[in-house]
Amino acid sequence: MRSLLFAANWKMHLGPADTRAYMSTFLAEYQERPDRQVWFFPPAVSLETVSTAVRGRASMLAGAQDIYWEPKGAFTGAISGPLAAQAGARAALVGHSERRHVFGETDADTGRKVAAALSADLYPVLCVGETLAQRDAGDTLKVVTRQLEAALPPPGRVDPRLTIAYEPVWAIGTGRNATPKDAAEVHRAIRSWLKDRAAGQTRILYGGSVNLKNAAELLAERELDGVLVGGASLDPHGWAELVRTGVA
């Protein structure tokens, strides 16, 4: 059976009270299925609310949108892997394009964060993707490979707890998604990079303006192991419907 991961990135939306209302609507409308996992990435202040709401549901978990690589200390405003885990997180996004392009996160930072997530026993979801200028210059695969190499450097094998999300920057929050064929081409290149490191089973998600209208068409492409969704995951009714019906 093909198993798919639906990941919801709420970005800077939904505090604890809104999250309680969201989760009660979502859980009333969505019945768990063995072939689908649903991962929620709320803002840090709502992690505990999500993790409490999904407790006992094997196919769901809460994850942090970002972690800092040090486990503790004088890093005002940051949260570490162990702190996120204490709030109930079981996964962490790393290198989301907004972290890279709004907050100036570097490739080297993503490497430290992947390692920090693993040592806190969190599943890292490493986001990679090119800007429009890089795509137009024909540099997509070069950029994505550079991002993979920086975040998952040798020595050692690629950890099986890792998930990759291919998210072209030009498709995030713009309403312009990659075509299934374009996404598949990059997924194949990522998979081949992973295969060379004995990690061909690593899940690769697509993200970038996925919504109720295009999810089924994108997921019909077998290279996609799931989707990472921002805007269209903010409405619990729509998100429940997308997870339910998003597979052709």
Closest CA to 13 of 98, 126, 117: 98
* Residues 183-212, mask of contacts with ligand PEP (x by CB under 6 A): ------------------------xxxx--
Closer residue to ligand PEP (CB): 207 or 236: 207
Contact 23, 53 (CB under 8 A): yes
Of 66-74, 138-146, 213-221, 223-231, which part binds ligand PEP (CB under 6 A)?
Answer: 223-231
Catalytic residue from among 96, 98, 130, 187 = 96
Give the 3-state secondary structure of residue 169.
helix
Closer residue to ligand PEP (CB): 55 or 176: 176
Cβ 229 to ligand PEP shortest distance, Å: 5
Q: Please name the residue ranges forming H helices in the chain.
A: 16-29, 47-53, 81-86, 97-101, 107-119, 132-136, 140-151, 180-195, 215-219, 236-245
Closer residue to ligand PEP (CB): 12 or 74: 12
Q: Which of residues 119-178 bind ligand PEP (CB under 6 A)?
A: 167, 172-173
| Cα 21 to Cα 236: distance, rounded to the nearest angstrom | 9
Cβ 46 to ligand PEP shortest distance, Å: 16
Cβ 172 to ligand PEP shortest distance, Å: 4
Contact 118, 161 (CB under 8 A): yes
Closer residue to ligand PEP (CB): 70 or 182: 182
For the chain, the residue count is 248
Tokens coding 186: 């990059």
Cβ 89 to ligand PEP shortest distance, Å: 17
Residue 228 engages ligand PEP in binding (rule: CB under 6 A): yes
| Cα 29 to Cα 49: distance, rounded to the nearest angstrom | 18
Q: Cβ-closest residue to ligand PEP?
A: 230
Catalytic residue from among 98, 130, 167, 223 = 167
Tokens coding 196: 């060379």
| Cα 159 to Cα 170: distance, rounded to the nearest angstrom | 29
Look up 48 and say whether it is catalytic: no
Q: Which of 158, 229, 240, 242 binds ligand PEP (CB under 6 A)?
A: 229
Look up 237 and say whether it is catalytic: no
Residue 41 region by backbone torsions, left for phi larger than 0, else alpha for psi between -120 and 50, else beta: beta
Q: Which of 81, 230, 236, 246 binds ligand PEP (CB under 6 A)?
A: 230
Indicate which residues carry an active-site annotation. Answer: 96, 167
